[in-house]
Amino acid sequence: MDAVGWGSIEEYDLREIENSIESYTFVAHIRDEMGLLVGYVSAFSDKAFSIFIGELVVRPEFQGKEIGRQLLETVETSSLSTGY
């Protein structure tokens, strides 16, 4: 979040972040070859009509490289979209 200007790392409480992530039924991420988190998406679904994206975040230096598209495609092909 800090990398995209959504507050600073000092402002976040680790437990709050863990609670937020655990609340979603789906979380996917992409890391670079060194293990750096470059993007992630969180989502949940009613498994009938809608999939809701909680957050889609891509580090600025990786934007424009289809990371966000890949993450959204992962949501579309996940078990969240079953039942339609």
Q: What is the pLDDT of residues 22-69, one digit of tens each?
A: 888 899 999 999 999 999 999 998 877 888 999 999 999 999 999 999
User: What's the pLDDT at 68?
Assistant: 96
User: What's the pLDDT at 83?
Assistant: 54
Residue 27 belongs to domain with CATH number: 3.40.630.30
Give yes or no for residue 10 having a pLDDT over 90. no
Does 21 map to a domain? yes
User: What's the pLDDT at 19?
Assistant: 85
Looking at beta carbons, which pairs linking 74-80 to residues 24 or more positions away fall under 8 Å?
A: 74/28, 74/41, 75/26, 75/28, 75/41, 75/43, 75/51, 76/51, 78/26, 78/28, 78/43, 79/26, 80/25, 80/26, 80/43, 80/44, 80/45, 80/47, 80/51
Question: pLDDT higher for 6 or 43?
Answer: 43
Question: What pTM value is reported for the model?
Answer: 0.77
Residue 60's domain comprises: 2-79
Does 84 map to a domain? no
Does 36 map to a domain? yes
Give the total number of structural domains in the chain. Answer: 1
